[in-house]
């Protein structure tokens, strides 16, 4: 029904930047909040940032000022601009959207497959 495809991950040196993208496709009636999560090896998945349908944003406290989330509603795409990257930012980054499929009355969360971000020191 709803498919998420992430891109933009890779290997970068500390201090560098990456921009992640996540496009939602399929039978989508509407999308509410869009978020990025990340999971480092041995750690639980944690929220990185969220942007609502009204463009309100929320960030993990430790990431404020370095990461910026944005969305393009016409493209059903959410972005994560990551600057001043640190080795501790290494992990798999997952896209999450709250969407309502066509023909459904229910909102539900959907997850992407994840994209690896590796920051070398």
Tens-level pLDDT at each residue, the chain (121 residues):
899 999 999 999 999 999 999 999 999 999 999 999 999 989 999 999 999 999 999 999 988 789 999 999 999 999 999 999 999 999 999 999 999 999 999 999 999 999 999 999 9
Give the per-residue pLDDT at 1.
85
Q: What is the pLDDT of residue 64?
A: 79
What span, in angstroms and rounded, lies between the C-alpha atoms of 110 and 117?
Answer: 21
Instruction: Report helix, strand or coil for 61.
Output: helix
Confidence at residue 15, expressed as pLDDT on a 0 to 100 scale: 97
């Amino acid at each position: 029904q709803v498919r998420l495809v992430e891109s933009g991950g890779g290997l970068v040196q500390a201090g560098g930047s990456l921009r992640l993208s996540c496009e939602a496709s399929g039978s989508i009636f509407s999308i509410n909040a869009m978020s990025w999560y990340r999971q480092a090896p041995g750690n639980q998945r944690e929220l990185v940032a969220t942007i609502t349908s009204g463009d309100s944003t929320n960030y993990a406290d430790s990431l404020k000022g370095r990461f910026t989330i944005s969305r393009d509603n016409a493209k059903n795409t959410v972005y994560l601009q990551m600057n001043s990257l640190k080795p501790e930012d290494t992990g798999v980054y997952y896209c999450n959207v709250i969407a309502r499929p066509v023909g459904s009355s229910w909102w539900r969360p959907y997850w992407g497959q994840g994209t690896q971000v590796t920051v070398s020191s």
